[in-house]
Amino acid sequence: MTTVETDLQGVVEDAAAHLYVWALKDIPQDLRDALAAARLRETSVTGIRVLETIHRNVNIADRDGNLVCQDTGIAVYTCRVGEHFPLHPTRIYAALKTGTERATLEHPLRSNAVHTITRENTGPNTGYRLPIVHWEFVPDWDGLDVKCVPKGSGSENMSFLKMCVPADGVKGIKRFVLDSIVGAGGKPCPPGIVGVGIGGSADYAMYLAKEAITRPIGTRNADPIVAQLEDELLELLNQTGIGPMGLGGDVTVLQCHIEHADTHMTLNPVAVNYQCWAARRASAHVSAGGDVDFDREA
Ligand code: SF4
pLDDT at 199: 98
Asked if residue 89 belongs to a domain, the reply is yes
User: Both 260 and 158 in a single domain?
Assistant: yes
Average pLDDT over the chain, rounded to an integer: 96
Mutate to test the pocket of ligand 1, among 69, 125, 149 (most ligand atoms within 8 A of CB): 69
Chain segment 77-133, per-residue pLDDT in tens: 999 999 999 999 999 999 999 999 999 999 999 999 999 999 999 999 999 999 999
pLDDT of residue 64: 97
For residue 224, how many other CB atoms are within 10 A of its CB?
9
CA separation for the pair 101, 96 (Å, rounded): 9
Structural domain contains residue 44: no
Asked if 107 and 195 sit in the same domain, the reply is: no
CA of 152 to the centre of ligand 1 (A): 5
**Alpha carbon nearest to ligand 1 atom 4, residue:** 189
- Gap between the Cα atoms of 200 and 264, Å rounded: 7
Q: Is residue 254 domain-shared with residue 285, that is, in the same domain?
A: no
CA distance 216 to 34: 11
Does one domain contain both 140 and 190? no
pLDDT for 172 beyond 90:
yes
CA of 155, closest atom in ligand 1: 1
Q: What average pLDDT score do residues 243-253 get?
A: 98
* Same domain flag for 196 and 179: yes
Mean pLDDT computed over 47-61: 98
Q: Are residues 105 and 209 in the same domain?
A: no
Contact 232, 174 (CB under 8 A): yes
**What integer pLDDT is reported at residue 5 of this predicted model?**
47
Instruction: Tell me if 136 sits within 8 A of 78, measured CB to CB.
Output: yes
Instruction: Kindly state whether residue 41 falls inside one of the protein's structural domains.
Output: no
Total structural domains within the chain: 2
DSSP per residue over 137-195, as a string?
EETT---EEEEEEEE-HHHHTSEEEEEE-GGGHHHHHHHHHHHHHHHHTTTT-SSEEEE
Q: Are residues 147 and 187 in the same domain?
A: no
pLDDT of residue 281: 97
Report in angstroms the alpha-carbon separations of 237 from 229, 240, 286, 290: 12, 6, 38, 43
Domain for residue 241, yes or no?
yes
State which ligand 1 atom lies nearest to the alpha carbon of 150.
7
Whether residue 55 has pLDDT greater than 70: yes
Does the beta carbon of 31 sit less than 6 angstroms from any atom of ligand 1? no
Contact criterion met (CB below 8 Å) for 5 and 91: yes
- Measured between alpha carbons, how far is 232 from 227 in angstroms, rounded to an integer? 9
48: in domain: no
| 172 and 255, same domain (yes or no) | yes
- Same domain for 76 and 212: no
Of 61 and 7, the one with more pLDDT: 61
Q: Which residues contact 239 (CB under 8 A, 6 or more apart)?
A: none
Q: Does residue 83 share a domain with residue 19?
A: yes
Q: How many C-beta atoms surround the C-beta of residue 135 within 10 A? A: 12
Concatenated DSSP letters for 73-95?
A: -EEEEEEEEETT-SS-HHHHHHH
- Residue 267 CA to residue 172 CA, distance in Å, equals 12
- In this structure, what CATH number is given to the domain that contains residue 8? 3.30.1330
Asked if residue 50 has its Cβ within 6 Å of ligand 1, the reply is no
pLDDT digits (tens, 9 = 90+) for 33-42: 999 999 999 9
Count of CB atoms within 10 A of residue 29's CB? Answer: 12
pLDDT bucket at 6, cuts 50 / 70 / 90: low
Cα(153) to centroid(ligand 1), Å:
7
pLDDT of residue 82: 98
Q: Is residue 7 part of a domain?
A: yes
- Domain residues for the domain of 247 are 154-275
Ligand 1 centroid – CA 96 distance (Å): 23
Co-location of 10 and 89 in the same domain:
yes
Query: Mean pLDDT throughout 227-244?
Result: 98
> Is residue 154 in contact with ligand 1, taking CB distance under 6 Å?
yes
User: Per-residue pLDDT averaged across 135-154, rounded?
Assistant: 97
pLDDT of residue 204: 98
pLDDT in the model for residue 261? 98
9 and 139 part of one domain: yes
- pLDDT at site 3: 46
- Separation of 275 CA from ligand 1 center, angstroms? 9
Q: Is residue 59 part of a domain?
A: no
Q: What angle do CA 156, 163, 192 make, to 5 degrees?
A: 30
CA of 205 to the centre of ligand 1 (A): 23
